[in-house]
């Protein structure tokens, strides 16, 4: 008896439709910071060249009553930065981006600062992990209405390597790390399944009241080759538009390498363009480790 195996392969030439490039706006509307923009254009999925930058825009910043605050002229490498205008808490900003034959409008406010602080830290066993660094944190939510928040943590450590001559070479490494928790305040939001490095939550269950919760990390390094130098905790207060944008952006990034998933619609707030112009107010605490 003979067993014969046949294999056939069919090549299908798939023609992607030509699409008009759309403007993509990345902005920074953060309290006490100059207002910045980066302007690029979308490109086809099979286009591996660098994104096309937009350097010929005129960007105007207004108050909510359309009082002109500043005009930002043409940028460099797609970047634009206000010179005189720093975003202020509790104020609304309206922006007009003018290009030949096209105008884009967008606007958002800057939230008030969050009143938050670290109460204490300790080392525990957490879900089988020894030396888990736990942070006990307090957030005072004093605003009326629903508010939105986010937590991030950046880890700074030194990596030590030996040179052939016996000298020690030191490299500083910084990285965003997972925010690990089982606290109901931080696990209630279903959007957090898409990113462990950026936890989102609202004051739905503690509106107008102070709340204490716990989170931490098992990523601390302490060995002869690697040592943690510091951790910076970012507590960010968002507008509703910013919360919607970051929620859908995290979901989009989570599924971007899955060819069988449905595309996620990222909720920007710029009519006719991608990206967002959304406000946030950031409070950070630094924990310094000494050995």
pLDDT exceeds 90 at position 264: no
Q: Report which DSSP code applies to 270.
A: -
Name the least confident of 153-167, 187-201, 232-246.
Answer: 153-167
List the structure tokens of 65.
Answer: 């009553």
Task: State the average pLDDT over residues 181-198.
Answer: 92
pLDDT over 70, % of the chain? 93
User: Which option is the CATH number for 13-109: 2.40.50, 2.30.30, 1.10.1060, 2.60.40?
Assistant: 2.60.40
C-alpha to C-alpha distance for 15 and 218, rounded to whole angstroms: 48
Place of tokens 């202020």: 88
Tell me how far apart the alpha carbons of residues 26 and 33 are, in angstroms, rounded to a whole number.
15
What is the enclosing helix (H) or strand (E) of 251?
helix 240-255
Identify the pLDDT of residue 205: 87
Distances (CA, A) of 130 to 78, 120, 122, 127, 219: 46, 18, 12, 9, 11
Q: Which residues belong to CATH 2.60.40 in the chain? A: 13-109
| Rounded-to-integer distance, Cα 158 and Cα 171, Å | 6
Which of the four pLDDT bands, split at 50, 70 and 90, describes residue 259? low
Determine the pLDDT at residue 128: 87
Express each pLDDT in 56-103 by its tens digit: 999 999 999 999 999 997 778 999 999 999 999 999 999 999 999 899
Q: How far apart are the two ends of the chain, measured CA to CA in Å?
A: 74
């Amino acid at each position: 008896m003979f067993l014969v195996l046949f294999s056939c392969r069919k090549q299908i030439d798939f023609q992607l439709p030509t699409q008009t490039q759309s403007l993509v706006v990345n902005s920074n509307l953060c309290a006490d910071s100059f207002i910045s923009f980066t302007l690029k254009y979308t490109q086809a999925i099979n286009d591996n060249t660098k994104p096309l930058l937009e350097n010929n825009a005129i960007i105007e910043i207004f108050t909510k009553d359309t009082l002109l605050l500043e005009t930002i002229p043409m940028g460099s490498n797609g970047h634009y930065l206000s010179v005189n205008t720093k975003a202020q808490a509790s104020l609304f900003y309206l922006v007009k981006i003018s290009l030949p034959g096209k105008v884009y409008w967008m606007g958002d406010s800057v939230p008030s600062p969050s009143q938050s602080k670290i109460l204490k830290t300790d080392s525990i066993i957490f879900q089988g992990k020894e030396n888990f660094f736990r942070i006990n944190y307090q957030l005072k939510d004093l605003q009326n209405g629903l508010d939105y928040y986010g937590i991030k943590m950046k880890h700074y450590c030194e990596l030590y390597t030996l040179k052939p001559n016996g000298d020690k070479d030191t490299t500083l490494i910084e990285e965003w790390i997972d925010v690990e928790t089982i606290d109901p305040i931080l696990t209630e939001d279903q959007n957090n399944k898409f990113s462990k490095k950026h936890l989102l939550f609202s004051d739905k269950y503690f509106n107008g009241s102070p709340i204490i919760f716990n989170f931490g990390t098992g990523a601390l390094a302490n060995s002869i080759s690697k040592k943690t130098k510091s951790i910076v905790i970012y507590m960010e207060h968002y507008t509703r538009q910013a919360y919607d944008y970051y929620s859908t952006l995290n979901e989009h990034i989570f599924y971007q390498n899955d060819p069988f998933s449905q595309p996620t619609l990222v909720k920007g707030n710029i009519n006719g363009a991608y990206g967002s112009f959304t406000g946030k107010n950031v409070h950070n605490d630094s924990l310094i480790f000494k050995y």
